[in-house]
Structure 1
């Protein structure tokens, strides 16, 4: 492998009428890996993943509409709209094709990209995600809590879904960083994106995905379960599935070594066949 000069930078660009915050890391001549965040987070959720990629790949992470440093417009959003934002970002940055990594909501966006824009992806890594997220009343309860108590009212339940108790107790610095990401999410953006998750019906769409795909999930993920990951694996042709032990929903943060090993091995394998 040969390394070129590394480029690092965070900025924003106008996409579909809003500012999308993004950041590049890694060598300019590497194939681009696009990383898409979960609901109630921002692109800092990938801080543990970036070092495992940037010796060879150029990483591009961004904040989904309504999150982090990106703009918020009136909701509800749809998953198709959020996928159009990802494609709009690639167009604005003159990037033809990427390896895509998305977790939770980010993985739902990735399903749209694989089905609707197959020419734009070398591979898909769909992590701790699902093709449908019922029941509807669960989301209505969460939205009501957000409206009444603010995002802070969702904090205890969110952390319990995202991490195992042992990790919460043993990793206070990581948990505090995640707490700040959650608190940095506006109620309007959360409800607008949460509505896209609530209304998503992707199962039939999965049959259209032909790109090499890795389905990855934490063994103890209560938000997007192993059973839901198995649906993705069964419906996406020639997909691979990896289960990470001792991990809940944000497996990339809870088990970074296992997550990074799986992701890097998969993407490198795809690269070898290009």
Structure 2
């Protein structure tokens, strides 16, 4: 498993495919393996770098709190270590917050941004969700916490149609041989709560593609709409009937349109 040392930590990443570099940043509490269903579509065209963020997977888990800017510096250090001058960057949830900070930290290094279920700053409601997760991770059993998380990120309709899938995901999390320590999960929650790019996003010049589910109760639609208004080069696509996991609920469509966005840029027409 490849690792690099940068920004004071050792980072684990996976590399798949060939072509233009594509950095993939996952969300709160998750490691890079959750990109699998998307990498299968991307790897024929792109050199995919699946990153275990600070605190997750096999990357170091120092004491917190963390910030999204700090995790952006981690990602930039990975690009430096691999000699990559410029990359497409895609992030889901917390990963989208890291991606925003990366585009602000080193705009010349970001060829495009794909921000999935993003926010520029937490409102009161979203802050309370992250605070609830932060507390519950320590207090609940692993299966009960996974059940709580699923209730926020999957829609009621998904629960009705796909309960076996949800139960399998819940069991998989319980059986994980490398669970995230409480301090690391809470440190990532801190990063999510304190993330704030509202006054700076207007300076992002990279072409930006934003996706969100219209039934997302975790990072609701209006947060993505706000980002779209703040960014001069942003396009918003709303997935009707989907929630925070629209990228899985409507997997084929998500893969097709995000791939088309990057392909258009690679073709020089953006």
Q: TM-score if structure 1 supplies the norm length?
A: 0.89
In the other structure, the counterpart of 2:133 is 142
Contact 1:151-1:187 at 8 Å conserved across structures:
no
Alignment of 1:1-274 (within 5 A): 10-27=1-18, 30-135=19-124, 136-149=127-140, 152-171=143-162, 172-173=164-165, 176-177=168-169, 180-181=172-173, 184-273=179-268
The alignment of Structure 1 onto Structure 2 pairs a total of residues equal to: 263
Unpaired runs of 5+ residues, structure 1, are 1-9
Contact 2:147-2:170 at 8 Å conserved across structures:
no
Offset at residue 142 of structure 1 (A): 3.0
In structure 1, C-alpha distance between the alignment counterparts of 2:214 and 2:12, rounded to whole Å? 32
Contact 2:153-2:245 at 8 Å conserved across structures:
yes
In structure 2, C-alpha distance between the alignment counterparts of 1:252 and 1:107, rounded to whole Å? 13
Which string of whole-angstrom CA distances, capped at 9 and with x for unpartnered residues, describes residues 116-173 of structure 1?
2101111000001111123345443432222333554532221012112333344434
In structure 2, C-alpha distance between the alignment counterparts of 1:199 and 1:74, rounded to whole Å? 16
Unpaired runs of 5+ residues, structure 2, are none
The SS at the match of 1:49 is helix
In structure 2, C-alpha distance between the alignment counterparts of 1:199 and 1:151, rounded to whole Å? 25
Change (3 A) 1:179 1:264: farther
Contact 1:217-1:249 at 8 Å conserved across structures:
yes
Q: TM-score if structure 2 supplies the norm length?
A: 0.90
